[in-house]
A and B are shown apart, each in its own frame.
Chain A
Amino acid sequence: MASIRLENVTVRYEHYDVLKGINLTVDDGELCALVGPSGCGKTSVLRVIAGLTRPVAGNVYMDGQLVNDVPPGERDIAMVFQRFALYPYMTTRENWAFPLLAAGLPQKEIEARINAMSEFLSMGPLMDRYPKQLSGGQQQRVAVGRALVRRAKVFLMDEPLGSQDAKMRVEMRAKLKKLQMDLGITTVYVTHDQVEAQAIGDKVAVMEAGIIHQVGSPEEIYDKPATLFVAGFVGTPGMNFLHGSLQREDDHLFIRHPLFKLAVPPALAANVEAGASSQEVIVGFRPEHIRLHQIAEGDAIPAEIYVLEPQSNKLVVSLKLGQEILKMQADRDRLGFEPRLGQKVFVTFEQEFAHIFDKATGRRMD
């Protein structure tokens, strides 16, 4: 059991900074999901924690102790790779025994641990099979088991579900999460899939180009994205962005867009105005916070239905408002009508769910 802390960690390959002074704390027993597009540096974070990559600057602490100079083998870390990296010529049992033999454990102890783990992962008949005789999901369990029998303090997983099909990923991520909770082992989980990160993480860290944009619970990341990047990266279909400018009329602060005028809630107005670097802002609305109407009401904006995409019980509707294409999403039976392609409709925004960003800095403004 351990906590991990990275302090201003910078990693450089050649002349390129892969990590630009990142800070991250993972508490004891927590599962932290690192998510970002490929090349954002998330795997480098894992490698730094594992001790496989040495930062050019910054410190790595485990349980409050500086471990910069501790070699990987002495950090007591177990890692699961995307390709599992099982030894193909060893059975499950042998795969599991291998790290224990390396640690010089007595035979009896090894057997006891393997049997306990076999029961825990309900491996039973799979113990004497070779990796190629196992399905993808079973291989993954073997890989996880091999990492676990070592009873390491920290668990690092690099896209452990990367090679599974969509259905298996959904099933396995819940199992992994449950397993991690039961064991209470501190875990850092790397994925490029924001859906997976939300589902599995106690805490999600969104990365891009060597920096961490935001660390928070899945709800925080989704409901209060700190930057434009996080807002656009998390959630599918992605957030709709509209460019507007701040305007004060009498006592109220508004955001003016060619198509609409949005009143900034008074509670936020002071913050927004104080933090603005210029008048230019970007307003974001999630697809589920856009409402469709057949009849004009109040300040509804006319739009045309551009594309219809059924998604199970939901419908994703692309809307053409002037030159902009927005996507809205709703339960099919809540829409109240069956939209048709090319139909003229009216759009309103749920203004209390507006996300306001400074155009120049990309930062959230409230």
Chain B
Amino acid sequence: MSRVVLAHLHCWYGQTHAVDDVTLVVGDGELCVLLGPTGCGKTSTLRMIAGFVRPAAGDIFLDGRRINDLYPGDRNIAMIFQSYALYPHMTVRQQFAFPLKATKMPAREIEQRIKETADFLHMHEFLDRYPGELSAGQQQRVAVGRALIRRPKLFLMDEPLSQLDARLRVEMRATLRRLQQDLGITTIYVTHDQMEAQSVADKIVVMNQGRIQQIGSPLEIYARPANLFVAGFIGSPPMNFLDCRLEQRQGQLYVCNDRFAFPLRPDLADRVGRVSLGQPLVLGIRPEHIRLSPEAQANAVPAEVYVLEPQSSELIVDLKLGDLILKMRGDKREIGFRPHLSQQVWMEFQQDHLHLFDKGTEVCIL
């Protein structure tokens, strides 16, 4: 049972402010994903929790106890490394025993724990092999086994699936998620893959340039991104962005730019009422929230079919709007017609899923 609190954590590498005022609470049994592009500070944060890097400022609490000054081995934390960090000179059995020996556990009990772990991960036939003799997927299981055999208070995982091929990765993330839920061990998980993050997380922390951009459940992060960065980082293909402004026409609020103008639904208009008209804004709409029609529709935006990308049961349609390329995504059966290249089509943005961002501050205003 454990809870992690990070309070105003900072970390510098030379002139780089790698982690900038990170404050975060991870609840007991929760799986929290630190998500962001390379160099966003997610791994540095993890390494500070593990104790490999000393924070320049701020505190780390595990179960209410400040662990800043504890040696890594005294923190009761287990970690799964990106490269798995399996000891090449030890068999799987020896790898499993290694952390237990450090605690001076009696040999009988070590044997017992190894047996339990091997049962749990179905690893009996591999116990006497060396890591070099195992496939990537098996190595990953050994890494998991070595981490959980100690029954630690906290699991840290640094891109634990990145060494696996796409197929296995999709499979293993469900397995890992289930395992973590069964064990109920508090986990902090680092990845740059937003799909993976959505799929395993109770809570996602989106980071960029050392700072936390947003904390929320996968659904919150997807449906209500706090700013342009989060909006553009989550989802594939990513959200489409269009420069626009708001104008008052015939008593209605219109979203418009040089190429289109459509009225904003009254309830939405009320919510953005305080935004001064004419201010530069960015409209954000996800590919799955654009409806296409082969015929002109009221308030729809005309565009040209530019590229077609089949995607399993779905179709991604690239649409050309002036110099901009927008992407829409929809189930082949539901698009309603078969778009062909260079066809003139009309896009309707589903207003339930429309986002507006302030172009200057990049903060979401709708």
A5 interface residue per 8 A CB criterion: no
B198 in contact with A312 (CB, 8 Å): yes
Give the CA-CA distance A364 to B167 in the complex, in Å. Answer: 22
Interface residue total, chain B, C-beta cutoff 8 A: 41
A73 interface residue per 8 A CB criterion: no
A37 interface residue per 8 A CB criterion: yes
A-B pair number, CB within 8 angstroms:
100
| Known contacts A167-B238, A310-B222, A312-B235, A199 near B310 by CB under 8 Å | yes
A165 interface residue per 8 A CB criterion: yes
Distance in Å: Cβ of A196 to nearest Cβ of chain B: 9
A177 in contact with B311 (CB, 8 Å): no
Q: Which of A173, A174, A306 has the most CB of B within 10 A?
A: A174
A234 interface residue per 8 A CB criterion: yes
Task: Give the residues in chain B near A332, CB-CB below 8 Å.
Answer: 219
A222 in contact with B312 (CB, 8 Å): yes
Give the CA-CA distance A165 to B37 in the complex, in Å. Answer: 9
Q: Which residue of A lies closest to B204 (CB)?
A: A310
Please provide the chain B residues from 159 to 179 with a CB less than 8 Å away from any CB of chain A in the complex.
165-167, 170-171, 173-174, 177-178
Give the CA-CA distance A214 to B243 in the complex, in Å. Answer: 44
A309 interface residue per 8 A CB criterion: yes
B222 in contact with A318 (CB, 8 Å): no
Please provide the chain B residues from 32 to 81 with a CB less than 8 Å away from any CB of chain A in the complex.
37-38
Please provide the chain A residues from 318 to 342 with a CB less than 8 Å away from any CB of chain B in the complex.
318, 327, 332, 341
Give the CA-CA distance A31 to B318 in the complex, in Å. Answer: 18
A226 interface residue per 8 A CB criterion: no
- Give chain B's interface secondary structure class: mixed
B198 in contact with A318 (CB, 8 Å): no
B199 in contact with A199 (CB, 8 Å): no
A312 in contact with B312 (CB, 8 Å): no
Give the CA-CA distance A137 to B219 in the complex, in Å. Answer: 31
**A307 in complex: contacting residue of B165, B178, B318, CB < 8 Å:** B178
A311 interface residue per 8 A CB criterion: yes
Task: Give the residues in chain A near B167, CB-CB below 8 Å.
Answer: 233, 236, 238
Give the CA-CA distance A346 to B232 in the complex, in Å. Answer: 36
| Known contacts A170-B236, A233-B167, A313 near B288 by CB under 8 Å | yes
Give the CA-CA distance A236 to B169 in the complex, in Å. Answer: 11
Give me 7 A-to-B residue pairs in the complex whose CB atoms sit less than 8 angstroms apart, sorted by A's number. A181-B307, A194-B166, A219-B332, A310-B198, A310-B219, A313-B222, A313-B286
